[in-house]
């Protein structure tokens, strides 16, 4: 990937040029996918998120932050942070579902009555 082409696309994307978004994702996708595979490598083997889904979630998160990308490093730094946040949120949701077992909570007086 040519850094100067990506930086140019990021600048145009930050300025609000709609066509630049397609160019940014096309240029950044291979690196984002590599980052996603690396992030998921330390997760449990039965993790339900795949690298492609993680990249898509990251792009949705980053797409709303126009003007935040001064450089290639800043863009990929924000992407890495977004990946971590998505994985943490996914784990929290999974643990919440596991803890609640899908049943609605009981009022305290009903829960302790014999």
- Measured CA to CA, the distance from residue 80 to residue 21 in angstroms comes to 18
Region 3-15 average pLDDT = 86
Residue 70 has pLDDT above 90, yes or no: no
How much is the pLDDT for 113? 63
* CA-angle at 65, arms to 17 and 87, nearest 5°: 130
Does 1 score more than 60 pLDDT?
no
Q: What 8-state DSSP symbol labels residue 94?
A: H
Q: Give the closest residue to 59 by CA, choosing from 32, 87, 30.
A: 32
pLDDT at res. 65? 67
Q: How do residues 20-44 score in pLDDT, each as one tens digit?
A: 888 989 999 999 999 999 988 888 7
Which position has the higher pLDDT, 110 or 19? 19
**Is pTM beyond 0.85 here?**
no
Higher-confidence residue of 107 and 4: namely: 4
């Amino acid at each position: 990937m040519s850094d100067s082409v990506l930086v140019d696309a990021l600048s145009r994307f930050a300025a609000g040029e709609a066509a630049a978004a397609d160019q940014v994702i096309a240029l950044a996708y291979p690196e984002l996918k590599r980052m996603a595979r690396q992030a998921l490598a330390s997760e449990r083997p039965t993790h339900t998120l795949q690298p492609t889904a993680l990249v898509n979630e990251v792009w949705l998160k980053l797409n709303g932050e126009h003007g935040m990308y001064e450089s290639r490093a800043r863009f990929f730094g924000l992407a890495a942070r977004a990946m971590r946040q998505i994985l943490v949120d996914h784990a929290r949701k999974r643990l919440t579902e596991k803890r609640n077992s899908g049943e609605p909570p009981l009022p305290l007086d009903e829960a302790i009555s014999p």
